[in-house]
Amino acid sequence: MSASMSPRRSSGTTPRSPSAPDLPDTLDPLLSAPEQLRGVELRDRLLSGLDLSGRTAHDIRLVECRLEDVDLSGSDVRGLSMRDVGVRDASWAGANVEAARLERVEISGVRLTGALLPSATLTDVAFVNCRIDLTSFRFSEFRNVHFDGCRLEEADFYEATLTSVLLTDCDLTRASLAGATLSRCELRGCRLEGLGNPERLRGARMTMADAVAAADVLATAVGIEIAD
């Protein structure tokens, strides 16, 4: 095969792993949530087993905190700010997290089905074994983000900017990349059936095995008709 017909090879621009949250060795437990949550700032606290579902809590700021089994489903937490935070075994399903700012955050085992995170900024964030289907990331910015073992079916990345993003073993079935911009991104072992606007993957890294498995999706991206 001539060089002009060879598949594009890696240029060595791999995604950078997100920096882990910098948490203190001990955290003071928060035994109950304040009645008024709007604008609350919490530092060095452990939030465990709290039911905040359906609450309105704009502009919360969490710094060096850990959240375990905290239910934010259906809550309006627009303007949420997290720095050096670990989140585990929670539900954010249907939550409105518009304009969130997350920096050095690890989110593990969290359900975000139908959550709204438009216009969010995520820097050094890891999603591990999360359910993120039907979630909106429209107009959001990602930098040094890792999605690991996540369900992203029908997730919406409209006009999102993804820089140094790694997706491993994720299900992107019918997710939408309309208008998205990818730079230094890599996909490993991901399902791409029905991916919307697959042409936006241009420049992303994949193994040859993954590229072959997604040949129909990639062919669609360049307008190739697969013959029987």
User: Would residue 27 count as lying in a domain?
Assistant: no
pLDDT for residue 201: 93
In the chain, how many domains are there?
1
150 lies in some domain? yes
Residue 9 inside a domain? The answer is no
Residue predicted with more confidence, 227 or 42: 42
Mean pLDDT for 66-89 is 97
Q: How many residues does the chain have?
A: 228
CATH code of the domain covering residue 122: 2.160.20.80
Q: Which residues, in sequence order, are CB contacts of 84 under 8 Å at separation 6+?
A: 21, 22, 23, 63, 64, 65, 103, 104, 105
Q: Which two tokens stand for residue 41?
A: 């700032």
* Cβ-contact 37, 14 below 8 angstroms: no
Q: Is residue 20 part of a domain?
A: no
User: Is residue 83 situated within a structural domain?
Assistant: yes
Please report whether residue 43 resides in a domain: yes
Q: pLDDT tens-digit profile of 185-199?
A: 999 999 999 999 999
Q: Is residue 107 part of a domain?
A: yes
pLDDT value of position 29: 96
DSSP state string for 150-210 = -B-TT-B-TT-EEEEEEEES-B-TT-B-TT-EEES-EEES-B-TT-BSGGGGTT-EE-HHH
- What are 89-128's pLDDT values in tens digits? 999 999 999 999 999 999 999 999 999 999 999 999 999 9
Assigned domain for 163 exists: yes
pLDDT of the residue at 6? 40
Query: pLDDT tens for residues 159-218?
Result: 999 999 999 999 999 999 999 999 999 999 999 999 999 999 988 999 999 999 998 888
pTM for the model stands at 0.91
Q: Which domain holds residue 83?
A: 36-221
Task: Write down the pLDDT at residue 200.
Answer: 94
